[in-house]
Structure 1
């Protein structure tokens, strides 16, 4: 009897006349249950815009998007220390939503969940910047998965884009968009941020990073443009059909968006995305790239190319990776991997720091391939597959090759026994041989292995492979490997 009375009082105190069958009842119930029970209800920017979620009710149609954005940030911060609620459908349902057995745990940062909660781990901060014709909605399937791993994730819609398209006007440029992002980081006191940009959003994160350098941990370019001063997008991107251009905006026709931009998406997701695309502010896409000191500075960066996308071309993205010394990854999908391959993209973002470590090691040693394997069951990591990998051009990837019994190899048994770096200048006559498939199928002829230890247990190793014959590894090569192993161990440590 007490609960109905409390519920009625809550509804009446809220000034709601209709009690039966409407959202007011659920709102009152949420207030009675407390904040820990309502994060999914409050997170409109994820639930309302995810193609896997129910349609929105349009509750914020009259709210200024800038005010709404600040509200969403406060809600996200309120969620950061709340354990995600259980999903319907048991383990299978949890895995579909990026939780449960199929979820990936955080790597480092602040504590991401309440003390004593199973699966507690560190938190990271991701700010995801959309590209042309999009809004923050484009990131929802990825953001949902990152949040499920306990991280703080923001995916703002830039001025004149997405739900803010009605604010479009003259004067919106890459520079003003970048200022928005830099101001978001400043006013909300966000540091150690992984700043992610896709498509033309790559230009925005270039300028934003320049404006807020001290707040940036890593830059991630997802099939993104990264222009030099004075370059134009139309000199790099080749469209099969012209855009519809007004004095303020530019955008594809619906037919072009459906047949070209979103052609690799499943029908339901394609329809969801088509309903949300909006023209992009003209100068933010067509004006020459503004002056920048971005390329004169050192950045920790990752470049993720989508093989099935014609734009931006591979040569452009290779240039970005080479100039920044960035980790390089490829996904076999189209230009919108956050919609077509959200699980794979989320995983790359979650382990971007580990990828950066192996990329740095490959550059330092000139190796053909560097891999990291980890056995961390609570993070759904197994040495059966690589956790992180860096490749020289043309070298075959080991990612997804899970048929080899790694711990049965003589080289790994040696690591288990000696717990120090193993140097092999010619694997063909090594006393502790690697898996034969590594030699026969993947061409390794010399290698170094560095053990990753936690509490005295061998939980993984870093492998450095050379192809094309024996190799004499130098003292600096060994030192670089030892540094990488220490860096990996530090990333695995909760703060």
Structure 2
């Protein structure tokens, strides 16, 4: 049986996958939702990959689902354990030697204010009262680039669940020399405010040489559209198994 391995983005943990995990388990699927040491300033991308490898120990037929910043972590995992399929979900796509903090400028992100707001929110964690943060950096606000399409109650809980993101993994160069030889799919979200669809189409074409698949929703479709996302992941897994 395929095991779906859910790898969170910056400042997130397994809770941010919980609706998708419930959906997949209800369909009889095996799921591993990983928690990363995102608050640990001593932990870099290698330690993030170590956490995923430990979480999947003894399992086979792995489909990795990497959200957002996890685009820097998941390929490292593919180089350490056998992986059938890598699904990049609204994810960053790194180049060899590129530090995550350099990615925004290198990819020509169209709105430096959105990128800065995102990084500020991740560093601050869940506290919406952090002095000096712009409104767009506060998860669940009207200008939020993360949770804008969630029901108010779920958006509020997502804000409380936000973790502090250490800066260490963003400062170190991506250590791989090339993209790993694993089947890779990219799924973007058309209403994503953090990584707008036209921007990601260009990044994916330039860095992976493919056209991304697309679905409706904002940056967190695992919370806003878990059933639709589960349909997509099951379809990808079936195609990879042929």
Structure 1 length as normaliser, TM-score?
0.41
Distance 2:124 2:104 in 1: 12
Alpha-carbon shift at residue 279 of structure 1 (Å) = 1.3
Q: Does 1:221 align with 2:88?
A: yes
2:69 aligned residue? 200
1:338 aligned residue? 222
1:140 aligned residue? 18
Could you give the per-residue CA deviations for residues 221-280 of structure 1, whole angstroms, max 9, x where no partner exists? 00001111233244245343545489xx45576242122121211112111211211111
Aligned to 1:281, what secondary structure does the other structure show?
A: coil
Pick one of 283, 292, 295 that aligns with 2:176.
292
Q: Does 1:174 align with 2:45?
A: yes
Structure 1 spans left out of the alignment, 5+ residues: 1-122, 161-167, 357-489
Structure 2 length as normaliser, TM-score?
0.80
Distance 1:211 1:250 in 2: 32
Runs of 4+ displaced beyond 6 Å: none
Q: Does 1:184 align with 2:66?
A: no
1:272 aligned residue? 157
Q: Which has the higher contact order (CA 8 A, sep 6+)?
A: 2
Residues 142/294 of structure 1: CA separation in 2 closer, same or farther (3 Å cut): farther
Q: How does 1:99-138 map to 2 (within 5 A)?
A: 123-138=1-16
Aligned to 1:303, what secondary structure does the other structure show?
A: strand
Aligned to 2:84, what secondary structure does the other structure show?
A: strand
Alpha-carbon shift at residue 354 of structure 1 (Å) = 4.5
Distance 1:245 1:196 in 2: 23
Alpha-carbon shift at residue 326 of structure 1 (Å) = 5.3
Alpha-carbon shift at residue 151 of structure 1 (Å) = 1.4
Alignment RMSD, CA only? Answer: 2.6
Give the number of the structure whose residues are more often strand, by fraction.
1
Q: How many residues align?
A: 221
Q: How does 1:27-426 map to 2 (within 5 A)?
A: 123-160=1-38, 168-185=39-56, 188-212=57-81, 215-231=82-98, 232-235=102-105, 236=107, 238-240=112-114, 242=117, 243-244=119-120, 249=123, 251=125, 254=128, 255=135, 256-259=138-141, 260=144, 261-284=146-169, 286-295=170-179, 297-313=180-196, 314-320=198-204, 323-324=207-208, 328-354=212-238
Equivalent pair of 2:187/2:212 in contact (CA under 8 Å):
yes
Residues 276/154 of structure 1: CA separation in 2 closer, same or farther (3 Å cut): same
Aligned to 1:216, what secondary structure does the other structure show?
A: coil
